[in-house]
Structure 1
Amino acid sequence: MLKRNLLLTSALIATLSITACSQQTQDAAKDTAQSVAQDVASATDQAATNVQNTAESMGDVVASATDNTATAVANGTEAVKDGAAKATAATANAVADGATAVASGAQAVANDVPESQKY
């Protein structure tokens, strides 16, 4: 009978131990699940904020790049305009110098003609 009571007591203690472990395991799992849920919620909130901050930063970068591009285009346009004006002036001066040289040459030829051949 003593063996039987010890056996029943052991079985009861083992059952209670398993139940207690099971309850501890359930509590730990519940705590872990709540912690993970909080971590995921926090990460989600941070992700939205990070995306917004990144979008704002990219907007600033794009705006700055657009301004720099506009400035570069304006400077390039001004350089082309100045170059064209200088080239036109240089061409006009060269044409004028050439016309003067042709007129001088014509005058020199006219002066070299003997009086007997002048009309």
Structure 2
Amino acid sequence: MKAIVIDDENPALMQMQRLIHRDGRLEIAGAYTQAQDALDQWASCEADIVFLDIEMPGMNGLEAGKRLQQLDPDVHIVYVTAYNDHILASVHEGDVYLLKPVDPQRFQQTVTVLQRRIAHKKPN
């Protein structure tokens, strides 16, 4: 499975990349500090999962998530944010999210859930 990471804060971007490398089940297909850059490069990355910061300048993560799902309805979005009731209220029921700083065990559980969802969708 391939993943991309979108976060405007370099420390958070690097932390997510470290978690992905340590977990070992995902390949990083791209890392971006601007949502628009990820959208522009989407065709070349072929990612299954997007780890997407919600609060970013310019296009926020919720808007970017909608646009990514328009480009690829099968992509799995994991919203990543610092705890904020107002922001989390904007995340739809059934959406996957992680709170910053991301707990490694919670990250692994999230990847396991997504791995099952992706395997379930693939034709035999």
Q: Does the pair score TM above 0.5?
A: no
Shorter-chain TM-score bucket reads under 0.3
Higher helix content, 1 or 2: 1
Give the TM-score taking structure 1 as reference length: 0.18
Give the TM-score taking structure 2 as reference length: 0.17
Greater relative contact order (Cα < 8 A, sep 6+):
2
